[in-house]
Amino acid sequence: MMAKKKKNLSVTDLENLLQQRMTQLETLIEKRRNLQDQIAQLDREIHSVNGSGAGPGRVSKSKVVAKPKRKRRRARNSVSLTSVVAAVLAKHKKGLPTAEIESAVLATGYKTTSKNFRPMIYQTLAKMKEAKDVVYDGDAKLYKLTK
């Protein structure tokens, strides 16, 4: 029946194909249910032997002690990131790519505790683009100050 093209199948052929698929689906669901029961039984056996759900050589979650989290202090700057980016772009009339803007901002002494500072630069440039303070040259991949 599979040799026929799908376009040329009759209604009875389609019904037979559907019935085969439904039977196959029921069989697979039953297999999955049996496997899940076997896994549950194994988990119960492991728990009774080990006293927890952890496998051999593993520490159960209840025994793991979390490290105390260190509070990071927010860096305080006298000038906003937007004005620092604007000042950096004002010095470079031809524009700068994002990576160079990031290094130039950090070179000004701008403090950050961010592990990944570049997304903050992208976010600031996006806000500046909305305010029409900055324009992006897609060909040269440079940001330029408009004012």
Contact 110, 118 (CB under 8 A): no
Name the stretches of the chain with pLDDT < 70: 1-6, 52-64
Domain ranges of the chain: 11-54, 81-145
CA–centroid distance for 13 within its chain: 45
> Which pLDDT does position 57 carry in this prediction?
55
Residue by residue, what is the 3-state secondary structure of 100-143? HHHHHHHHCCCCCCCCCCHHHHHHHHHHHHHCCCEEEECCCCEE
Query: What is the domain class of 81-145 according to CATH?
Result: mainly alpha
Residue 56: the pLDDT is 55
pLDDT value at position 1? 47
